[in-house]
A = this chain, B = another copy of it.
Amino acid sequence: MKEQIWAQIIAVKQNSPLVHNITNYVVMNNTANALLAVGASPIMAHAHAELTEMVNIAGALVINIGTLDEYWVKSMLIAAEQANTLGKPWVLDPVGAGATTYRNEVLKQLLKLKPTVIRGNASEIMALASQSNSTKGVDSVHQSNDAVSAALRLNDEFGSVVCISGATDIIVNNDNTTRLSNGNSLMAKVTGLGCTATALTGAFLAVNPQDAFLATTAAMALLGVCGEIAADLSAGPGSLQVNLLDILYNLTEEEFFTTLKIS
């Protein structure tokens, strides 16, 4: 599978897919930079009047509810519907699922539009599956393993590939489970690396819409490997953010194969 994943990484670099992001204010800059570093071409746009056309020209859509409000929720719904109409893949990042009633209601509407992929931390995936209010803000208080049955329920109901990210990233669909054990705990001290994972998943879906499981696995593997290498070079979260972009841009096949921990 390692070779298959590397082939996806090369495909993103060569095809430079256009990824349309409707995401939160906190991470827009980082996720745009991460997309550029891996070879994709990011666009951020949310005006109702242009969303249909934007989705038309994009290879994939990323929806992240982090700093949602009424206007942006409508943007998300319009764009996800258009992605479905065109058969284009889209990925949902349910930031803060479970924290408020409003977030839960918005997520219910988005789930009905059957995201190709859902990526969240364990607490978010569990809240999404149970619609319970158990999240402490946007940081996970659960381990990835705790959320596997929740991920399976989401896959069963909505058909989505589900990625639970954390110390171990677990990617789940109805007949596959892959575990990735790269990364570094320092990554949790940089805001929005989960959102970056979601954005990268969009890039990989754009070049491989036929195999969302492989696309998600490739995105998570790339970020985990690069985050791990970058953290080893970094004195703290400030330098990690910088080094991560450099490594995403420069990663070699050899570094990737020797660092990747997949099972």
Contacts and interface: CB of A to CB of B under 8 A. Distances in A.
A152 interface: no
A189 B248 CA distance: 11
Interface string A21-41: 000111111101100110001
A243 B246 CA distance: 13
Contacts of A234: 246
A70 B43 contact: no
Nearest to A73: B47
Contact of A238 (B28, B54, B69, B244): B244
A151 interface: no
Interface stretch (A78-86, A136-144, A208-216, A217-225): A136-144
Interface in A87-107: 96, 99-103
| Total copies of this chain within the assembly | 3
A37 B189 contact: yes
Interface in A227-246: 234-239, 241-246
Interface in A50-76: 50, 53-54, 57-58, 66-71
A10 interface: no
B28 A26 contact: yes
Nearest to A16: B139
Contact of A69 (B46, B68, B235, B246): B46
A186 to B, nearest CB: 8
A7 interface: no
A172 to B, nearest CB: 26
7 contacts: A18-B137, A29-B192, A47-B70, A234-B246, A237-B246, A237-B249, A239-B242
